[in-house]
A and B are shown apart, each in its own frame.
Chain A
């Protein structure tokens, strides 16, 4: 059903009624999200928890950093298909990246990697980006503390 609806996406313009067409990539990331789970306390170098005040969605994100790169990443999301799919894609994009590269991933990058997302769900893509930034901030704080920096 969903794929049949997807084939007709181009025939439907948003703005004339409620339209929620998710493409195959989004549905794949929703049905089989990448990097779902939690990292052990011992593995965790950074943790972020963010909520979306607009729709009540929530995301938790864990990172393990080795040699300045994101070696492991894991997430859990409470939310709509848009929140789950964008969270999943964000972790897929961030995995293996340097901290600087990961910091530069934008919500537009996530949406583009998914091949587009319904307009009403665009705000969901910010959730993952914010969670990643929160986890990186946390990693920086922990590192500074360890190295005795203020």
Chain B
């Protein structure tokens, strides 16, 4: 199998796995218990928190552990909306966010909040001028993702964050797809709230974090015990948090060298596909991107058909977000970038990672060429596209 869907999930790093095992096998105590067996688990959680804080460049107390990037996004958006309900009801986001943010915004819209969806240009970069113009007295939160999950396009978050900051408006960024892929420390993004997740950077599934800058107004979404400074009730996922910390440490240590390796492979993949197949469009390739991601549109064929054609040959790629599998709607990200519905329908995402080797690229290009040619022979859209 050649796995080229690392933006969907990653394998667990053997060292992250090993670090978790004792907390599943022997040290299974509850970190909140009053005896030493519980304290052992508490120490593990707090050590993990400190290690992640060092990688992020924040204080340990500014990290809230939760179960997924989606939960972290929900806590950020709903938590600020709730905490600042009396101050205003306007939230600004973009049209290319992950469903975790987009559908939470839509849910808030139904609760009476007003949402502005900022446009992006053809390269998939948010129109910054539109951001300043959208802010008003009622604006309580701006949320703009760091790297896009479908295209890998990196938004100029530092520049974006400065605009709401000047006006005292809370700023959140979903950094799930950039954390560990870019050498940059998340704490330097200038955001008040940052979401990042374990299983996208070779940690376990079921664990993620929200960075909450000291003093950021935030109400809990999950109520219960006083866990995580009262911001996220529920017994800590001790083994998951330990594995998460190990994975974050490893990812940040290697992000520079691994990034260079993946960028070279990704660029080779795009070069060879572009020269071997006619009528291919590389989406977002002119903008800064995370080094592992490529999004391509093949005219006259359907992305899902390419995905199955490659799957049958043992290659895993996707049509965009894993969350939209089987969804007939073309990608909202590509439509926002100005692609036609047909172009968006013919797109696939390839995301490289730790397992990707030089020889995988050649084999993938070869199989992609055969698959697209075969589908174009079947396609009724071919003549029109010529």
Q: Cβ of A27 < 8 Å from any Cβ of B?
A: yes
Query: Do A81 and B308 touch across chains, with their CB atoms under 8 A apart?
Result: yes
Query: Do A36 and B326 touch across chains, with their CB atoms under 8 A apart?
Result: no
Nearest chain A CB to B138's CB is how many angstroms away? 37
Query: Do B312 and A27 touch across chains, with their CB atoms under 8 A apart?
Result: yes
For B374, give the chain A residue with the smallest CB separation: A31
Q: Cβ of B174 < 8 Å from any Cβ of A?
A: no
Contact count band on B: 20 to 34
For A57, give the chain B residue with the smallest CB separation: B302
Query: Do A77 and B380 touch across chains, with their CB atoms under 8 A apart?
Result: yes
Known: A2-B312, A77-B379, A84-B305. A18 touches B323 (CB 8 A): yes
Within 8 A of B (CB), among A1-32: 1-2, 18-20, 22, 27, 30-31
Q: Cβ of B316 < 8 Å from any Cβ of A?
A: yes
Query: Do B381 and A58 touch across chains, with their CB atoms under 8 A apart?
Result: yes
Query: Do B309 and A31 touch across chains, with their CB atoms under 8 A apart?
Result: yes
Known: A1-B314, A79-B305, A80-B305. A36 touches B1 (CB 8 A): no
Nearest chain B CB to A7's CB is how many angstroms away? 15
Query: Do A54 and B326 touch across chains, with their CB atoms under 8 A apart?
Result: no
Contact of A76 among B311, B312, B316, B378 (CB under 8 A): B378
Q: Which of A1, A57, A75, A121 has the most CB of B within 10 A?
A: A1
Nearest chain A CB to B372's CB is how many angstroms away? 13
Contact of B341 among A20, A56, A60, A76 (CB under 8 A): A56
Give chain B residues whose Cβ lies under 8 Å from the Cβ of A49: 380
- B residues adjacent to A (C-beta < 8 A): 1, 300-302, 304-305, 308-309, 311-312, 314, 316, 322-328, 330, 341-342, 345, 375, 377-382
30 contacts between A and B (CB under 8 A): A1-B1, A2-B308, A2-B311, A18-B324, A19-B325, A19-B326, A20-B325, A27-B308, A27-B312, A30-B305, A36-B378, A54-B328, A56-B341, A56-B345, A58-B380, A58-B381, A60-B380, A76-B380, A76-B382, A77-B379, A77-B380, A78-B300, A78-B379, A78-B381, A78-B382, A79-B305, A118-B326, A120-B326, A120-B328, A121-B326
Q: A18-B327, A80-B304, A83-B302 are in contact. List 18 more A-B contacts (CB 8 A).
A: A1-B314, A18-B322, A18-B324, A20-B325, A27-B308, A30-B305, A30-B308, A33-B378, A36-B378, A54-B328, A56-B345, A57-B302, A59-B380, A76-B382, A81-B304, A84-B305, A84-B378, A118-B326
- A residues adjacent to B (C-beta < 8 A): 1-2, 18-20, 22, 27, 30-31, 33, 36, 49, 54-60, 75-81, 83-84, 118, 120-121
